[in-house]
């Protein structure tokens, strides 16, 4: 299990979950949330992970150094609701070793 | 009243392919879709994105997949009710169903196949207090009749193509047009962005960026909006506020049809024929759920194929039938066309 990292996810009801996320399956944060069913199906990852909806918006609560947003993510966040300074689209954050200990909160459903 | 054999709700890839499989069984199909064009998400959300897991297509653009499906089903002459949302369903004494859309169009069929994907596409509504109280009283999410805005002061919010295109169009109609977006960059077509820039330079569009509409002012109808721009709060008087933030799918009225719903999807019997808990109503593609379900186009195609065989048996319970290969039976269109494999050439060598 050395390829797994620990991530802390607070769901939309405010419950905090400590979960293990694999780093070897090319997964993103939205897919990890879905794999643990931390948000109801049909309310997250609606566009499948193309940064074309904001259903996987989350707030980054920890101090991790994430890759910069690309143009698609910037544009989508500019049209998303409940956006804060620490908003990101989960589908654009790939699970990688340097995310060990990442803490996020899922944004409310639109 | 539109009558057909299989009434398909949702004209995405699964719904379209159902027409082909039904056609092989000489069953006619009619499709209803809330969007103005067929193709579902493939056409609406990602027409230019490549798909890599359609069998025998190493790569195909979603828009091309839809075009190919439309070509494939052409011989079976499907008919469409587009831009209308299936709203209610009523079972008749003869076992058939009448489905009525939000615009009152009625359809009757012995079989209903729900291929609605994640639901019908509805406008995304920004979380502005009391926004819904002003709907149709100055707040509109879709522009149906531009004349409504003649000589009115209009505020549009959004940063995509529809926001830009309507701003451009309404400069010809409205007395003033203001566009508000949360950042300075827009992701619309380059032509549209340049045109808005030009109209802004001419003073025909007022652009407020980076900014956001936070509140609406008005007794019963919209009299203005409160805009937050950085630390500043701007009070803007207007007659109409049009938030154009694109569309998002919602299961919508189908959720109230008495179907068993689980995980925002319709439960079906996957060991048999993808029928729902209401006999005669099937659910195929992304809209259904069963143990091990995968929301993939290729799975939708498979489900549509099995569902059509079951639908045939339901319509003609006394008829015997075995599935025929298209390489053997060819494709006989309802339009009189016939496609079939060329016959072998037998020639004597002397």
Residue reference for tokens 């620490």: A86
Give per-residue pLDDT as tens, B190-227: 899 999 999 999 999 999 999 999 999 999 999 999 99
- Assess B26–A contact: CB distance below 8 Å, yes or no: no
- Pick B126's closest partner by Cβ from A50, A52, A81: A81
- The helix (H) or strand (E) run that includes residue B329 is helix B326-329
Gap from B122 CA to chain A (nearest CA, Å) = 12
- For residue B117, the chain A residues in CB contact (below 8 A) are none
- Closest C-alpha among B97, B77, B115 to residue B1: B97
Token digits for B113?
């196949």
Q: Do residues B297 and B13 lie in contact, with contact meaning Cβ atoms separated by under 8 Å?
A: yes
Contact A52 B45 (CB under 8 A): yes
Rounded to whole angstroms, the Cα distance separating B228 from B212 reads 5
Q: Is the pLDDT of residue A1 over 60?
A: no
Across the range A54-60, mean pLDDT stands at 97
Between A3 and B47, the higher pLDDT residue: B47
pLDDT averaged per 10 residues in sequence order, chain B, 350 residues: 98 98 97 95 91 97 98 98 96 97 97 95 91 93 91 96 94 96 88 93 95 94 96 96 91 94 92 95 97 96 97 95 89 94 85
**Apex A91 CA angle, A35 and B62, nearest 5:** 100
Residue B45 confidence (pLDDT): 85
Cβ <8 Å between A82 and B265: no
CATH number of the domain at A11, please. Answer: 3.10.20.30
CA distances from B281 to B53, B113, B179, B269 (A): 29, 6, 45, 11
Work out the minimum CA distance from B247 to partner chain A, whole angstroms.
Answer: 9
Could you report the per-residue pLDDT of A59-106, keeping only the tens digit for each? Answer: 999 999 999 999 999 999 999 999 999 999 999 999 999 999 999 999
- The conformational region for residue A101 under phi > 0 = left, psi -120 to 50 = alpha, else beta, is left
In the predicted model, what is the mean pLDDT of residues A20-27? 93
Q: Which domains does chain B have, with CATH numbers?
A: 2-122+248-339 (3.50.50.60), 131-245 (3.50.50.60)
ipTM surpassing 0.85, yes or no?
A: no
| B-chain residue closest to A75, CA distance | B187
- Scanning A42-71 for CB atoms below 8 A from B yields 42-43, 46-47, 50, 52-53, 55, 71
Q: In the block, which residue shows the tokens 């890599």?
A: B52
The boundaries of the domain holding residue A18 are 4-106
Which one of A79, A80, A81 makes the best mutation probe of the B interface by having the most chain B beta carbons within 10 Å? A79
- Number of structural domains (chain A) is 1
d(CA B341, CA B210): 61
* Whole-number pLDDT of residue A64: 94
B183 and A53 within 8 Å at the Cβ level: the answer is no
B128 to chain A: closest CA residue: A81
- Chain A / chain B CB contacts < 8 angstroms: 54
Confidence of residue A2 (pLDDT cuts 50, 70, 90): low
> What pLDDT score was predicted for residue B219?
92
């Amino acid at each position: 299990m050395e390829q797994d990292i620990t991530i802390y996810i607070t769901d939309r009801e405010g419950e905090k979950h400590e979960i293990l996320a694999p780093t070897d399956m090319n997964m993103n944060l939205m897919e990890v949330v879905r794999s643990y069913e931390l948000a109801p199906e049909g309310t997250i990852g609606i566009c499948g992970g193309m940064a074309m909806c904001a259903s996987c918006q989350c707030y980054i609560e920890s101090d991790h150094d994430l890759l910069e947003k690309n143009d698609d993510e910037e544009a989508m966040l500019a049209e998303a609701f409940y956006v804060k300074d620490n908003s990101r689209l989960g589908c654009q954050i790939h699970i990688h070793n340097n995310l060990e200990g990442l803490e996020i909160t899922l944004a409310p459903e639109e | 009243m539109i009558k057909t054999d299989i009434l398909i709700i949702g004209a995405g890839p699964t719904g379209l392919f159902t027409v082909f499989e039904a056609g092989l069984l000489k069953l006619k199909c009619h499709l209803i879709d809330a969007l103005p064009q067929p193709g579902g998400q493939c056409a609406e959300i990602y027409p230019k994105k490549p798909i890599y897991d359609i069998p025998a297509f190493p790569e195909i653009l979603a828009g091309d997949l839809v075009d190919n499906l439309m070509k494939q089903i052409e011989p079976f002459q499907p008919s469409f009710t587009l831009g209308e949302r299936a709203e209610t369903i009523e079972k008749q004494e003869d076992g058939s169903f009448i489905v009525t859309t939000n615009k009152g169009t009625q359809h009757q069929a012995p079989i209903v196949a729900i291929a609605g994907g994640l639901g019908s596409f509805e406008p995304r509504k920004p979380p502005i207090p009391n926004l819904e109280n002003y709907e149709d009283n100055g707040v509109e999410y879709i522009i149906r009749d531009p004349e409504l805005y003649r000589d009115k002061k209009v505020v549009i919010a959004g940063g995509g193509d529809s926001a830009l295109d309507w701003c451009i169009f309404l400069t010809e109609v409205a007395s003033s047009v203001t566009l508000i977006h949360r950042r300075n960059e827009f992701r619309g077509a380059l032509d549209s962005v340049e045109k808005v820039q030009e109209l802004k330079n001419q003073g025909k569009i007022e652009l407020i960026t980076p900014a956001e509409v936070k509140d609406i002012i008005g007794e019963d109808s919209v009299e203005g909006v409160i805009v937050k721009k950085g630390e500043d709060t701007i009070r803007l008087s207007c007659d109409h506020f049009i938030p154009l933030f694109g569309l998002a799918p919602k299961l919508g009225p189908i959720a109230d049809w008495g179907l068993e719903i689980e995980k925002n999807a319709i439960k079906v019997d996957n060991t048999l024929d993808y029928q729902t808990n209401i006999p005669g109503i099937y659910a195929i593609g992304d809209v259904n759920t069963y143990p091990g379900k995968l929301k993939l186009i290729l799975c939708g195609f498979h489900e549509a194929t099995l569902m059509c065989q079951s639908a045939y048996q339901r319509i003609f319970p006394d008829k015997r039938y075995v599935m025929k290969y298209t390489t053997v039976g060819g494709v006989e269109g309802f339009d009189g066309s016939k496609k079939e494999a060329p016959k072998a050439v037998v020639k004597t060598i002397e």
